[in-house]
Amino acid sequence: MIDSYKHQGLRRQLVQLLKEKGIRDQRVLDAIGKIPRHYFMDSQFDKFAYQDMAFKIDAGQTISQPYTVARQTELLELEKGMKVLEIGTGSGYQTCVLLELGAKVFTIERQKILYEKAKLLLAKMNYQPKFFYGDGYAGLPAFAPFDRILVTCGAPHIPEKLIEQLKPGGIMVIPVGEGDTQVMKVIRKSLQGVLKIEDQGVFRFVPMLKNKSGM
């Protein structure tokens, strides 16, 4: 794994572009400026790593577009030390952004190959989230409640179990919609347990899929 001056230069340009597109949280911009996104893609696709686009990884899935990663992270209003549940580890890139912001991350992936690959890569990069191979619709009741929940695949509806696992005072960011595009929902649970839901624009994600048999 080589992070050349060329990669670093392209990464600085990507950060500049994300600023122009409206990302304001400096911690998010710093994380994107620091993490070599090309490590998360096959080396032959190196040159695409710092373009603001999603890209195919294994199992028919994608590494999310950098703008989407930045915007979702910004919407989480993360503070250091918070417990975050991430649904859809994928390449593990978003996981690293959350870790750079000081979160304790619990991440779930339903594709075995992606779970295995992300585990290996992040260990090499010295990032230490808790990895789970399983179904995001179920969340992680044994580790609940979570200060923040981030869903990185398009959900047909808001999963009830995830709402239950959100701490009072917590925030969940989830793209909801069954077609090609989803509406980004920011769900706030008050200390009394009342939900307030806000829409934050239209995005495009791979679908959040139901149980695989045997899970």
What is the binding site for ligand SAH (CB under 6 A)?
61-64, 69, 87-88, 90-91, 93-94, 108-111, 114, 135-137, 152-153, 206, 208-209
Q: Nearer Cβ to ligand SAH, position 62 or 200?
A: 62
Alpha carbons 59 and 49: distance in angstroms, whole number: 19
Alpha carbons 31 and 152: distance in angstroms, whole number: 18
Which of these is catalytic: 4, 64, 91, 213?
A: 64
Q: Nearer Cβ to ligand SAH, position 186 or 190?
A: 186
Longest Cα–Cα distance in the chain:
51
Q: How far is the CA of 142 from the CAs of 2, 86, 106, in angstroms?
A: 38, 15, 11
Q: Least distance (Å) from ligand SAH to the CB of residue 215?
A: 9
Q: Least distance (Å) from ligand SAH to the CB of residue 95?
A: 7
Cα-flanking dihedrals φ and ψ of residue 211, to 5°? -40, 140
Q: Nearer Cβ to ligand SAH, position 88 or 129?
A: 88
Our answer to whether residue 64 is catalytic in this structure is yes
Q: Least distance (Å) from ligand SAH to the CB of residue 79?
A: 21
Q: Which residue sits closest to ligand SAH, CB atoms considered?
A: 90
176 in Cβ contact with 187 (< 8 Å):
no
Q: Least distance (Å) from ligand SAH to the CB of residue 145?
A: 19
Residue that is written with structure tokens 């620091």 in the block: 34
DSSP state of 86: E
158 in Cβ contact with 164 (< 8 Å):
no
Q: Nearer Cβ to ligand SAH, position 152 or 165?
A: 152
The residues carrying an active-site annotation are 64
